Amino acid sequence: MDDTARRRIEGAIFLVAFGLCIPAANWLIGNAGTVCVPNGPCLIPVAPGGLMAPSGVLMIGLALVLRDLVQRRLGLGWAAGAILAGAALSALLAPPALVIASALAFLLGEAADLAVYTPLQRRRLVLAVLASGAVGLVVDSLVFLWVAFGSLDYLAGQVVGKAWMVLLALPLIHWLRRRDARLGLQPA
């Protein structure tokens, strides 16, 4: 398989997975958790000591990494388009009370991720994913919690939950970078 075909196939897989994170996050936040707060989110534990977060955090943390991989395989234009489409999809699928919060948090968090990832990714892929994920997850968490609930009560849990997904993805990112170097595959 030539480089272009490999990049397009992998990029399409990353793009579809990115898109699937959005409905999964919206479904999880209202339907799955160890505790579901009346008129609020369903929560899951994200760290020892009772640190809780809305259950959608896992999918949003994964979406931040997948957006980076979409950009790596398909280019900046595809990544920017995926962010806009993801924000629209998030607005369409979010529970009515969370539409604005969900779409705005997604748009701003992913845009922050893109802004940090883009200048770093050619030289330091693993660092780029880690740094952009950290910035994106904080922005997403702050915006979502403040707009949705007028409170930052679950901020620590949101940050930790999303960070788990970014950290769990780093070995895959490291492997991908090494494989790309071995194959001579350049980012888009």
Q: Hey, what CATH class is 3-183 in?
A: mainly alpha
Predicted local distance difference test score (pLDDT) of residue 17: 96
Q: What is the pLDDT along the chain (188 residues), one digit of tens a residue?
A: 788 888 899 999 999 999 999 889 888 888 899 999 887 788 999 999 889 988 888 998 999 899 999 999 999 999 999 988 988 888 888 777 778 888 899 899 999 999 999 999 988 999 999 999 999 999 999 998 899 888 898 899 999 999 999 999 999 999 999 998 888 887 77
Phi-psi region of 54 (alpha: psi -120 to 50; beta: other; left: phi over 0): beta
Angle of the 155-183 helix axis to the 125-149 helix axis, nearest 10: 150
Q: What residues does each domain of the chain span?
A: 3-183
What is residue 98's predicted lDDT score, i.e. its pLDDT? Answer: 77
